Amino acid sequence: MIIDCHGHYTTAPRAHTAWRQAQQAAFEAGLAAPAYPQIADDEIRASIDGGQLKLMTERGVDLTIFSPRASAMGHDFGDEAVSIAWAQVSNDLIARVVQLYPASFAGVCQLPQSPGVPVTGSIAELRRCVTELGFVGCNLNPDPSGGHWTSAPLTDRSWYPLYEAMCELDVPAMVHVSAVTNPNFHATGSHYLNADTTAFMQLLQADLFTDFPDLRLVIPHGGGAVPYHWGRFRGLADMLGRPPLAESVMGNVFFDTCVYHQPGIDLLFTVIDTGNILFGSEMIGAVRGIDPQTGHHFDDTRRYVEALGLAPGARDAVFELNARRVYPRLDRLRPAGVITAVG
């Protein structure tokens, strides 16, 4: 079985996106947002069948861990009430996708984070999504300000109430920023990768996992710059008097395979233990074109992993077993060894 740990609903029905625009306009005008529209099941099917599901079938992916579109989380906009309303309708839409395609998708929630608002305000939505909607994890934005980094580091105690809830519910978080408002950064080309690298460095500098030994965090996009500069991070840990990374960080942190060329995947697997790598593609996501050097889609990451020629045990770990270990609630939805045809 092949589990893709990193999928976003980038093809959501137009009515959903239009409501967000109306909500934003209403907020700026000091008015109440309009009622959320009725979206038919057929609209959801149309948005999935020709997009994510089609590519999953073509690429041999059995299950995608699916969340709202990351760039549209928009935590930087509005206030806490706006973020809560937007998170709720976005998560409810993911739940409907999972309900329509239970063999192919598992839900991960957007949190209603807002700059300057304690993260405790996100716990109720996390609980609702896990206990009522059956979601298996959440996306956690380390920078709700949209590229201005006004929040405390992820290791600050202000984040601890959320971590306590995550551990209680036994769900991980993918550390994933949203849109960027700082003109110095391109969203997917720099802001995302900067955030991945920044989050890892924050974790290196502190003892978060001593306080939360069961906390699990997925750093996407292959870990940002971390694998490429692994010697730098090992050296910094030594210079700062920190324990070796294998002891202090890598028991709780995992990278995905959203790296869009073969040399990058080769490096990732050379530097990082296969026990810390989850298969992911971010399809349909940041890079949607065809690589002229290979003739294949950049985000067809299964092709790169298969080319490594991993031993069967390592291959199974990367494609399925590591995801089940990091997202244990998956076993309630799709028991190990049960393979259902995509769609």
In this structure, are residues 9 and 67 in contact, taking their beta carbons and an 8 Å threshold?
yes
Cα angle 324, 302, 190 (rounded to 5 degrees) comes to 90
What does pLDDT average to over the chain? 95
Instruction: From the candidates 164, 247, 282, 320, give the one annotated as an active-site residue.
Output: 282
Say how many C-beta atoms besides its own lie within 10 A of residue 211's C-beta. Answer: 13
Between CA 186 and CA 90 the distance in angstroms is: 24
Does the annotation count 282 as an active-site position? yes
Identify the H or E element spanning 68: strand 63-68
Better-predicted residue by pLDDT, 341 or 317: 317
**What pLDDT, in 10s, does the model give residues 77-111?**
999 999 999 999 999 999 999 999 999 999 999 99
| pLDDT score at 288 | 82
62 pLDDT higher than 60: yes
What's the predicted TM-score (pTM) here?
A: 0.95
Identify residue 165 by its one-letter amino acid code: A
Segment 116-138 shows an average pLDDT of: 97
Segment 209-231 shows an average pLDDT of: 97
Long-range contacts of 34-43 (CB under 8 A, 24+ apart): 36/89, 39/13, 39/15, 39/93, 39/96, 41/96, 41/100, 43/13, 43/15
Segment 127-150 shows an average pLDDT of: 97
* Per-residue pLDDT band at 338 (split at 50, 70, 90): low
φ, ψ (nearest 5 deg) of residue 176? -145, 120
Identify residue 225 by its one-letter amino acid code: A
| pLDDT score at 234 | 97
Segment 67-79 shows an average pLDDT of: 95
Can you name the residues that pair with 75 across neighbouring β-strands?
A: none
In this structure, are residues 115 and 144 in contact, taking their beta carbons and an 8 Å threshold?
yes
Between CA 5 and CA 77 the distance in angstroms is: 27
User: Which among 134, 130, 22, 133 is positioned nearest to 86, based on CA atoms?
Assistant: 22
| pLDDT score at 335 | 77
Between CA 88 and CA 94 the distance in angstroms is: 10
* Per-residue pLDDT band at 47 (split at 50, 70, 90): very high
| pLDDT score at 343 | 36
Say how many C-beta atoms besides its own lie within 10 A of residue 295's C-beta. Answer: 7
* Per-residue pLDDT band at 342 (split at 50, 70, 90): very low
Segment 297-322 shows an average pLDDT of: 96
Ranking 75-89, 185-199, 215-229, 280-294 by mean pLDDT, the lowest is: 280-294
Segment 330-334 shows an average pLDDT of: 85
225 pLDDT higher than 90: yes
**What pLDDT, in 10s, does the model give residues 162-171?**
999 999 999 9
Residue that is written with structure tokens 């769900």 in the block: 171
45 pLDDT higher than 60: yes
Say how many C-beta atoms besides its own lie within 10 A of residue 176's C-beta. Answer: 27
| pLDDT score at 287 | 85
Segment 249-254 shows an average pLDDT of: 98
Whole-angstrom distance between the N-terminal and C-terminal Cα of the chain?
Answer: 14
Segment 118-130 shows an average pLDDT of: 98
Could you tell me the two tokens for 24? 């934003």
341 pLDDT higher than 50: no
